[in-house]
Chains A and B, each alone.
Chain A
Amino acid sequence: MGANVSSVFDKEKEMTEMKNYAIIGFGCAGYHAAKAIRKIDPDGRIVVYSDTADPPFNPMLSTYYASDVLPLEGTFPFGSMEEIVKDFQLELHSETEAVHVDAAKKEIELADETRERFDSILVATGASAVVPASLTENAGRFFLMRTLEDAQKLRDHIEKENVKSAVVIGASMAGIKTAEIFYRKGIPTTLVDGASCLFPLAAYPDVAMMIQAKLNDLKIAQIYNAQVAAIRSNTVELSDGRALEADCICLCIGVHANVRLVANTKAVEGTEVKIGKGIIVDEQMQTNVPGIFAAGDCCEGKNLQTGETSVIGLWANAGAQGECAGKNMAGKEAVYYGNILHNITHFMDMDFISLGDITLPGEHRRFTGKGFLVEVCMDAGRLNSINIFGQYRISGILKSHLTKRLLQGENNLTPAQRGMLLAEGLPAELINLLGDKES
């Protein structure tokens, strides 16, 4: 009886005392967390620390801004900071860097050494472009493609300098989108990657080869298995001795999670916040330290296919994770079951879609239709991963199918989905292979 009384008392106490929330980093995850918290807790104090003065920016839009497809305001998908602050009643600390999270006291320390305590803290610091130290020594000028500032620099450079040639290091999704900027302007471009093919993390080798051939047809030079040794002046030097001269050099070899803030954070018992490639979180988006949450590109959430945690650096993923974290912070239990690796890249009027972990084993089957190719990797009648080229419309059905199978153990395609897949020209054989008929 006594325990019940005390819990009722605790709840009342919670309800009467205004809660203090902190969000460090204000991108997609931070935004959605703030939105979720405010929906549940109309009175709580939500403090946002952002290292820029800009509203939440989508790194995926940087190439679109750099190539003038989008105006500056178009790169802020949630609108202006004033509106967001007003809508969610945030206490915004812009251009303010949080340097440390004290997990034991649940305090945040700022660059000016001021500290403040919170009931819960969300780390949503995102990710940064990888720049190997070896390339920064005595380096020539090169451009990154992650932040708004990166995009602005490249945009200015192309506008002001008479760029006649370009080298893009990194045949990743960001790399191909960067190469597209030059392609659209008719600037000869070379794509360089250390891997043996394009999209090494997402494409099956034969699909990659096919896309490479299409890029060749578009006069985009590609060099694979090539380690970049240095960037000097206007030249990319490869470890095999080759040197590529270009008016514009871009580095798009990937991103790493921004974990520095919590890297030395210790909880009261002395445990450290677990970090792998990102900050490791559970299904509530909570770190191993109660009250400290992480979401978005800085964290490692559950990979549905492997059951392990991994960084799935995708915009929608960050949004869902942020929302889940926000709900839990505000006391409403929520679970984010995780995600699968998935990617859609639309470049040079082509679509490449990869769903699932391509390193998982299975039998590969390839199907072609009018202008598209689908390759599936099946393991004992179950879909493990899929590559789609030239057919974006079916991607959502297949992603939903794969996710549903992993989450609910169901392998059926609904009549609506079957109908749509048939209408989109998928062979019946493939549809039957992918999923059972609804009983």
Chain B
Amino acid sequence: MSYMFILDKRKCVGCSACAVACMDQNDIDVAAGDRPFRQCFTLESGPNPEDKMTFMSLACMHCEDAPCIQSCPSGCLKKDPETGFTIYDNTNCIGCHSCAMACPFAAPTYNKEGKMEKCDGCLTRVRHGLEPACVRVCPFGALQLVEKEDYENTLRKKAAELIAYTSRKDY
């Protein structure tokens, strides 16, 4: 069963609850300069009140053809066959930042040892029947984890404003 993260832009208010839940789940030490694996933005399109603001939440898109995987010189990244998440083992990470240059969404971060870390879709939680921390916390249900098949068959047709997070052509 392959999953994907989707964001219902109509319901996202850019509150960053997802980012904080990510910090709590992953013990992100922001005081030391670390960043959560998920971030929120409010994007303003102009100075006037009627100019649209876009609220969004962004993390690893778990791309089907994830460019980070091939970019890693140490082979740290791979797809999880069960969930479709892009996962990693950073034992041999040399901190070269090649994956950062390959990622169109600035998803990789680096810990104090200089080793890459990123959103793993809360793989272990998902395997244990729990939602990813960011999905669980979302106050308005804007951020969801859905089965890819459901998305392709129904959700995508229903809502033009849904951003698909796995298929990069939809970002």
Instruction: State yes or no: do A and B touch (Cβ within 8 Å).
Output: yes
Q: Does A280 contact B (CB under 8 A)?
A: no
The residue from A32, A315, A353, A420 contacting B73, defined by CB atoms under 8 A apart:
A315
Residues A395 and B94 in contact, CB atoms below 8 Å apart: no
B-chain residues with CB within 8 Å of residue A323 when the two chains form the complex: 70
For the complex formed, measure the closest distance between the CB of A330 and the CB atoms of chain B, giving whole angstroms.
18
Is A351 in the interface zone, CB < 8 Å from B?
yes
B30-81, CB < 8 A from A: 39, 41-43, 45, 54, 56, 58, 67, 70-76
Q: Are B73 and A416 in contact (CB under 8 A)?
A: no
Distance, CA A394 to CA B58, complexed state (A): 14
Q: Is A205 an interface position by the 8 A CB rule?
A: no
Size band of the interface chain A makes with B: 35 or more
Asked if A320 contacts B58 (CB within 8 A), the reply is no
What per-residue 1/0 map shows which CB atoms of A360-390 lie under 8 Å from chain B? Answer: 0000000000000000000000000000000
Q: Point out the residues of chain A lying under 8 angstroms from B73, CB to CB.
A: 58, 60-61, 77, 315
Docked Cα-Cα span, A79 to B42, in Å, equals 43
Chain B residue numbers with a CB within 8 Å of A395 are 97, 100-101
Chain A residues whose C-beta falls within 8 Å of the C-beta of B42 in the assembled complex: 419
Chain B residues in 8 Å Cβ range of A69: 94
Let me know if B101 and A396 touch, CB within 8 A: yes
Q: Within 8 Å CB of B58, what residues of A?
A: 416, 419-420
Given A416-B56, A423-B39, A346-B96 contact (CB < 8 Å): yes
Contact: A316 with B67, CB < 8 Å? yes
Asked if A344 and B100 sit within 8 Å, CB to CB, the answer is yes
Judge whether B98 and A316 touch: CB under 8 Å. Answer: yes
**Cβ B70 vs Cβ A351 within 8 A:** no
A316 to B58, CA, bound (A): 24
Contact mask for chain B residues 154-169; partner A; CB cutoff 8 A; 1 contact, 0 none: 0000000001000000
A118 at the interface (CB under 8 A from B): no
Q: Which residues of B contact A400 (CB under 8 A)?
A: 103-104
> Bound state CA distance, A392 and B106, in angstroms?
9
A397–B171 Cα distance when bound, in Å, is 13
* B43 and A418 form a contact (CB under 8 A): yes
Q: Which residues in B have their C-beta under 8 angstroms from that of A342?
A: 101
Which residue, A74, A419, A423, has most C-beta atoms of chain B within 10 A?
A419
A353 surroundings in chain B (CB, below 8 A): 101
Q: Which of B82-106 contact A (CB under 8 A)?
A: 91-92, 94-106
With the chains together, A395 CA to B100 CA distance in Å?
7
Contact B105 A417 (CB under 8 A): yes
A78 at the interface (CB under 8 A from B): yes
CA distance in complex: A353, B104 (Å): 15
Q: Number of contacts between A and B (CB, 8 Å)?
A: 109
Would you call B100 and A70 a contact (CB within 8 A)? no
**Does more than half of chain A's interface fall in helix, strand or loop, or is it mixed?**
helix
CB 8 Å contact bits of A316-336 with B (1 = contact, 0 = none) = 100110010000000000000
Is B45 a contact of A414 with CB atoms below 8 Å? no
Flag if B56 contacts A419 (CB, 8 Å).
Answer: yes
Q: A344-B98, A396-B103, A396-B106 are in contact. Are A415 and B43 (CB under 8 A)?
A: yes
Smallest beta-carbon distance B52→chain A, Å:
10
A424 at the interface (CB under 8 A from B): yes
| B75 pairs with A77, CB closer than 8 A | yes
- Tell me the bound Cα distance from A4 to B108 in angstroms: 51
A26 within 8 A of B: no
B97–A420 CB distance below 8 A: no
Looking at the assembled complex, report how far the CB atom of B19 sits from the nearest CB atom of chain A, in whole angstroms: 11
Complex Cα–Cα for A295 and B75 (A): 19
Q: Are A419 and B43 in touch, CB under 8 angstroms?
A: yes
The answer to whether A38 has its CB under 8 Å from any CB of chain B is no
C-alpha spacing A274/B56, complex, angstroms? 50
Contacts of B171 in A (CB 8 A): 414, 416
Contact: A344 with B97, CB < 8 Å?
A: yes
* Shortest distance between the CB of B65 and any CB in chain A (Å): 10
CB distance from A346 to the nearest CB of B (A): 5
B92 x A396 contact (CB < 8 A): no
The answer to whether residues A399 and B102 also contact, given A316-B71, A416-B56, A416-B171 and a CB cut-off of 8 A, is yes
**Bound-complex Cα distance A74 to B89 (A):** 12
CA distance A316 to B45 in the complex (A): 36
The closest CB in chain B to the CB of A76 belongs to B75
A437 located at the interface, meaning its Cβ lies under 8 Å from any Cβ of chain B in the complex:
yes
Asked if A99 lies at the interface with its beta carbon under 8 angstroms from chain B, I say no
Given A316-B102, A418-B43, A419-B58, A346:B97 Cβ within 8 A: yes
A213 interface hit (Cβ, 8 Å)? no
A424 with B106: in contact, given A69-B94, A344-B100 (CB under 8 Å)? yes
Residues of the A chain whose Cβ atoms lie less than 8 Å from the Cβ of B105:
396-397, 416-417, 420
CB closest residue in chain A, given B168: A400
- Smallest CB-CB separation from B45: which chain A residue? A437
B97 to chain A, nearest CB (A): 4
Supply 17 further A-B pairs (C-beta < 8 A) apart from A77-B76, A78-B75, A316-B98.
A58-B73, A64-B94, A74-B74, A344-B97, A344-B98, A393-B100, A395-B97, A396-B102, A396-B106, A396-B108, A397-B106, A399-B101, A399-B104, A400-B103, A416-B58, A419-B58, A422-B43
